[in-house]
Amino acid sequence: MIAINDLQMFAASLEERGLLHRIKAPVDRDLELAHVAVMGERAKGPALIFDNVIGFDIPILISAFTSPSRMAVALGMEPGPSMPELSRLWMERTTAGLIPPVTVNNAMVAKNQLTGDDVDVNHFPAPQLYPKDGGRFFGTTAYLVCRDPETGWVNLGTYRMQILEPNRVGVQFLQGKDADHILKKYKARGEKMPAAAVLGGDPLLFLASATFIGTGISELDIVGALRQKPVEVWQSDLTGLPLPAGAEIVLEGHIDPDDPCHEGPLGEYTGYYTHDHWSKPALKIQRILHRDQPLFWSCTVGKPVNDIHMLQCLSRTGGIWHDLETMKIPGIESVYVPPEACGWFWTIVSIRQMYPGHANQVGNAVLASSGGHHATKGVIVVDHDIAADDLSGVWWALSTRFDPSRSLTLDQGRATKLDPSLPYGDRHITGRMIINACIPYEWEEKPEQVELDAEMVAKVKARWADFDMPDIDPNRIMGI
């Protein structure tokens, strides 16, 4: 296990393993920085820290999660596991039980406190990412902490935060998100909602707060379970909220339900814009907390593949897998929501078939599950000889095991407002399908496959070193 308590430890762990590159050249935070990052991401480059952001002495971390190796390190593992393997770990740890946070008195984030006229979010190098974005965003990786006034439940949600004024940022939580439910309760009481925008802390806090965990469950407890140790929080004397003690920067204040703002757009994770700028919640900042020498953290959002698609791949796969296990559906070998599908719209499940109709049961279960029903367009079910993330194998199954007239099921379900394949103003319901790409269990005569000899494979693996191909790990070759 790699010990990681906060963002700077995570960045150092990446750097030690050659997974992070520091850019020393001066770079403009508006457009230039994000363009370097997107071009690096497209080329499957490393995580980046821009040490010399023009006009600031605060560096920016970006592209932190954009490879399975970096995602493994975030989870405290050495590079190696595939995304489905990491999702299985997510599923197992969150299913085993949650771990609530512990309160500490000394918090690195509380070392510097800006109040009164010193409250100015422009102190930090928030970038503008794309030319058509509405401005600079303090929050792409930042999460909002708020508390349910009735139950005391503390929710963490990642919602984008645009800088509007020195002491005001938009916080675009969409209808139905947890913060939206909670804000409505404050509104009914005629109160403002105390809230904090947090950047940094354990990198898993960003991951968990960008994931639908379930109403009433705190993302702090989920991160405790994932990290297998409690998150350290500091009880704010201003808002009464538990704030991650190792955070980089916190904007504290309140959201007035009767004082919405005009905000956006921001290039979204679908790779498109949604033009819906009015009546977004806004955080009025009363106090800024930050560590000594904070590290700013941004994410390019926009077209796949970047951090958001990787983290959605991890957590959505983990959530769907969790649901399939709790539904007691047997034979699930692996699950994968490809980052290229925005980490959202398609699910691939590999199963060991046990009875006729098993593959369709799995497809229907994904479409009906809490973790997978929302905006899924298709489920592809393949046999156990193909891992869910073996996209070459999946194409082979689509070509040789799938018959559209026999094994395609069409259905409809809940859409997302961000889906550009649906017309504006009518994005409630999407079509969806189950593609059963398994060899039918009930066929007595199955197609005969070309196979390698299992004993010879074992022998070849045993003397792999003799063949002098050190870059290939014989135990991680798909499809044998």
Residues that bind ligand FMN in the complex, under the rule CB under 6 A: 140, 155, 157-160, 172-174, 177-179, 209-212, 299, 301, 308
- Closest contact distance (angstroms) between CB of 352 and Mn ion is 34
With CB under 5 to 8 Å by kind, the binding choice for 160 among Mn ion, ligand FMN, none is: ligand FMN
The answer to the question of residue 369 lying near Mn ion (CB under 5 A) is no
| 26-31 long-range contacts, CB within 8 A, separation 24+ | 26/52, 26/53, 26/54, 27/52, 27/53, 27/54, 28/54, 29/53, 29/54, 29/55, 29/56, 29/60, 29/125, 29/126, 29/127, 29/128, 29/136, 30/127, 30/128, 30/136, 31/128, 31/129, 31/130, 31/131
- H-helix or E-strand containing 232? strand 232-235
- Closest contact distance (angstroms) between CB of 216 and Mn ion is 9
With CB under 5 to 8 Å by kind, the binding choice for 439 among ligand FMN, Mn ion, none is: none
- Closest contact distance (angstroms) between CB of 103 and ligand FMN is 21
Q: How many CB atoms lie within 10 A of CB 103?
A: 12
**Which lies closer to Mn ion via its Cβ, residue 180 or residue 276?**
180
Closest CA to 324 of 313, 312, 315, 335: 335
Within its chain, how far is the Cα of 146 from the centroid?
Answer: 20
Residues paired with residue 280 on neighbouring β-strands, in sequence order? 261
With CB under 5 to 8 Å by kind, the binding choice for 63 among Mn ion, ligand FMN, none is: none
With CB under 5 to 8 Å by kind, the binding choice for 210 among Mn ion, ligand FMN, none is: ligand FMN
Closest CA to 137 of 309, 307, 306, 298: 298
| 211-217 long-range contacts, CB within 8 A, separation 24+ | 211/311, 211/312, 211/315, 211/316, 211/319, 212/319, 212/371, 212/374, 214/370, 215/178, 215/181, 216/148, 216/151, 216/153, 217/98, 217/153
Query: Helix, strand, coil: what percent of the chain each, to 5?
Result: 30, 25, 45
**Which lies closer to ligand FMN via its Cβ, residue 8 or residue 140?**
140
**Which lies closer to ligand FMN via its Cβ, residue 101 or residue 393?**
101
- Closest contact distance (angstroms) between CB of 182 and ligand FMN is 9
- Closest contact distance (angstroms) between CB of 126 and Mn ion is 24
The answer to the question of residue 6 lying near Mn ion (CB under 5 A) is no
**Which lies closer to ligand FMN via its Cβ, residue 127 or residue 157?**
157
Q: Cα–Cα distance between 261 and 277 in angstroms, integer?
A: 8
Cα angle 473, 478, 480 (rounded to 5 degrees) comes to: 95
Phi and psi at residue 336, in whole multiples of 5°? -155, 125
Phi-psi group of 96: left, alpha or beta (phi > 0 → left; psi -120 to 50 → alpha; rest → beta)? alpha
- Closest contact distance (angstroms) between CB of 76 and ligand FMN is 20
With CB under 5 to 8 Å by kind, the binding choice for 179 among Mn ion, ligand FMN, none is: ligand FMN
The answer to the question of residue 218 lying near Mn ion (CB under 5 A) is no
The answer to the question of residue 221 lying near Mn ion (CB under 5 A) is no
**Which lies closer to Mn ion via its Cβ, residue 155 or residue 334?**
155
**Which lies closer to ligand FMN via its Cβ, residue 317 or residue 334?**
317
- Closest contact distance (angstroms) between CB of 301 and ligand FMN is 5
With CB under 5 to 8 Å by kind, the binding choice for 349 among Mn ion, ligand FMN, none is: none
3-state secondary structure of 379: strand
- Closest contact distance (angstroms) between CB of 315 and Mn ion is 12
Do 311 and 65 contact (CB within 8 A), yes or no?
yes
- Residue nearest ligand FMN, Cβ-based: 157
Rule CB under 5 A: which of 167-206 touch Mn ion?
Answer: 178
Sheet containing strand 378-383, edge to edge, reads 332-336, 346-351, 378-383, 429-436, 408-414
With CB under 5 to 8 Å by kind, the binding choice for 23 among Mn ion, ligand FMN, none is: none
**Which lies closer to ligand FMN via its Cβ, residue 141 or residue 430?**
141
Within its chain, how far is the Cα of 54 from the centroid?
Answer: 29
3-state secondary structure of 384: coil
**Which lies closer to ligand FMN via its Cβ, residue 18 or residue 176?**
176
- Closest contact distance (angstroms) between CB of 218 and Mn ion is 8
| Binding-residue total with Mn ion (CB under 5 A) | 3
- Closest contact distance (angstroms) between CB of 161 and Mn ion is 17
With CB under 5 to 8 Å by kind, the binding choice for 254 among Mn ion, ligand FMN, none is: none
- Closest contact distance (angstroms) between CB of 219 and Mn ion is 6
The answer to the question of residue 82 lying near Mn ion (CB under 5 A) is no
Pairing of strands 143-147, 154-158: antiparallel
**Which lies closer to ligand FMN via its Cβ, residue 158 or residue 167?**
158
Do 233 and 244 contact (CB within 8 A), yes or no?
yes
Closest CA to 314 of 81, 155, 144: 81
Closest CA to 245 of 285, 213, 289: 289
**Which lies closer to ligand FMN via its Cβ, residue 160 or residue 254?**
160
- Closest contact distance (angstroms) between CB of 460 and ligand FMN is 43
Please identify which residue in 8, 155, 270, 317 interacts with Mn ion, judged by CB under 5 A. 155
The answer to the question of residue 148 lying near Mn ion (CB under 5 A) is no
With CB under 5 to 8 Å by kind, the binding choice for 243 among Mn ion, ligand FMN, none is: none
Residue ranges binding Mn ion (CB under 5 A): 155, 178, 213
